[in-house]
Amino acid sequence: MPETSAPRLLGPAEVRELAARLDVRPTKQRGQNFVIDANTVRRIVRESGVAEGEVVLEVGPGLGSLTLALLEVGAEVTAVEIDPVLAAELPATIATFAPHQAERFRVVLADALSVTEIPGPPPQALVANLPYNVSVPVLLHLMALLPSLEHGLVMVQAEVADRLAAPPGSKTYGVPSAKAAWFADVRRAGAIGRNVFWPAPNVDSGLVAWTHREPPTDQVSREEVFAVIDAAFAHRRKALRGVLRTLAGGAEQAEAALRTAGIDPLTRGEALGIDEFVAIAVALHEAAAVPRGSA
């Protein structure tokens, strides 16, 4: 690193002192659980693979624990924070604990779930302790919004981590797994205990790492494929012929599209990967383009 003085990271005393001074009380509504262990944020940054000079998007920086660890490895950090009190304080915290890295930090007061642009240079990585109550929608929204993202690592509820990284056919495979696979190759990257947070959550946490992949098709839109995924898992124990009938315009049309896609109409959605969902969407799209009764 070019800086001669590394950032000081936040520990339990610093986190509680900052929270008390700001009169911040972590809320379940915003999924706020602040990391108080320096080794944990260093581990997150290490597992993320973020390199010196990379532009990193962080969501929900809170009091700045993970932010400081990202700055420590030489990253440039854009932090999106929904809480105006926390967002206003972050620059001062960075100036105090990482004065030599402060020029590589910017904060954006916004809701990551509805943000439409990220100021500054396009981020190459997403590293975040995501609010548990909106973790999947936020992750999918940012993957769709920012094609510049090449890789990332997020900390989420352990159960959600399992779902995001689940392969087709497994018990935890579902909508999050299938949709995330449109954007990236996803894997489970470890577990995080409850005692590294303040306040301690009632659930365990997991790390999910991902690497960007190009969209699996340009024949149909992402929205068309996601509509098939949503329909397939609306009644996950039912055969695709039945659950896709509304989308296809009838059970016979659904069966015809499935056969065109090379899929047994009695298959369940939980058995299919992203490429199979794409094939179904393409078949439905092509069938819709042919007028009824045409040869």
CB atoms within 10 A of CB 54: 20
Residue located via tokens 């975040």:
128
- Based on the fold, state whether residues 188 and 228 are members of the same structural domain: no
Residues with Cβ within 8 Å of 60's Cβ and at least 6 positions away in sequence, in order, are 31, 32, 80, 81, 82, 112, 128, 129, 130, 131
Last residue of a domain, one of 212, 233, 250: 212
Q: What is the pLDDT of residue 291?
A: 52
- Based on the fold, state whether residues 65 and 199 are members of the same structural domain: yes
- Based on the fold, state whether residues 86 and 36 are members of the same structural domain: yes
Establish if 3 belongs to a structural domain: no
- Based on the fold, state whether residues 17 and 157 are members of the same structural domain: yes
- Based on the fold, state whether residues 251 and 140 are members of the same structural domain: no
Establish if 5 belongs to a structural domain: no
At residue 60's C-alpha, the angle toward residues 54 and 64, to 5°, is 70
pLDDT over 60 (residue 211): yes
Last residue of a domain, one of 212, 235, 253: 212
Could you tell me the pTM of the whole model? 0.91
Q: What is the pLDDT of residue 34?
A: 87
Establish if 234 belongs to a structural domain: yes
Domain of 231, CATH number, reads 1.10.8.100
164/193 Cα distance (integer angstroms): 19
Please tell me the number of Cα atoms within 13 Å of 21 on its side-chain side.
11
Q: What is the pLDDT of residue 199?
A: 82
- Based on the fold, state whether residues 190 and 280 are members of the same structural domain: no
- Based on the fold, state whether residues 67 and 19 are members of the same structural domain: yes
Establish if 256 belongs to a structural domain: yes
Establish if 4 belongs to a structural domain: no
Residues making up the binding site for S-adenosyl-L-methionine: 33, 35, 60, 81, 111, 129
Establish if 121 belongs to a structural domain: yes
Q: What is the pLDDT of residue 5?
A: 84
Provide the pairing of β-strand 55-59 with 105-109. Answer: unpaired
Question: What percentage of residues in the chain have a pLDDT greater than 70?
Answer: 94
Residues with Cβ within 8 Å of 53's Cβ and at least 6 positions away in sequence, in order, are 74, 75, 76
Residue range(s) defining the domain that contains residue 163: 12-212
Last residue of a domain, one of 178, 212, 246: 212
pLDDT single digits (tens) 248-272: 999 999 999 999 999 999 999 999 9
Domain of 46, CATH number, reads 3.40.50.150
pLDDT over 90 (residue 200): no
- Based on the fold, state whether residues 29 and 121 are members of the same structural domain: yes
Establish if 133 belongs to a structural domain: yes
How large is the average pLDDT for residues 206-221?
A: 96
Establish if 135 belongs to a structural domain: yes
Q: How many domains does the chain have?
A: 2
Residues making up the binding site: 33, 35, 60, 81, 111, 129
Q: At what angle do helices 175-183 and 135-145 cross, to 10 degrees?
A: 20
pLDDT over 70 (residue 290): no
How large is the average pLDDT for residues 82-88?
A: 95
Q: Helix, strand, coil: what percent of the chain each, to 5?
A: 45, 15, 40
- Based on the fold, state whether residues 171 and 256 are members of the same structural domain: no
Residue located via tokens 């779930």:
113
> Which token pair is 20?
């008390």
DSSP string, 151-198: EEEEEEEHHHHHHHHPPTTSTT-SHHHHHHHHHEEEEEEEEE-GGGEE
- Based on the fold, state whether residues 84 and 147 are members of the same structural domain: yes
Phi-psi region of 210 (alpha: psi -120 to 50; beta: other; left: phi over 0): beta
Structure letter (DSSP) for residue 235 = T
How large is the average pLDDT for residues 202-229?
A: 96
Determine whether 229 is exposed, middle or buried from the number of CB atoms within 10 Å of its CB (0-12, 13-18, 19+).
buried
Instruction: State whether the Cα torsion 175-180-183-184 is positive or negative.
Output: negative
- Based on the fold, state whether residues 54 and 200 are members of the same structural domain: yes
- Based on the fold, state whether residues 257 and 198 are members of the same structural domain: no
Residue located via tokens 């007028």:
291
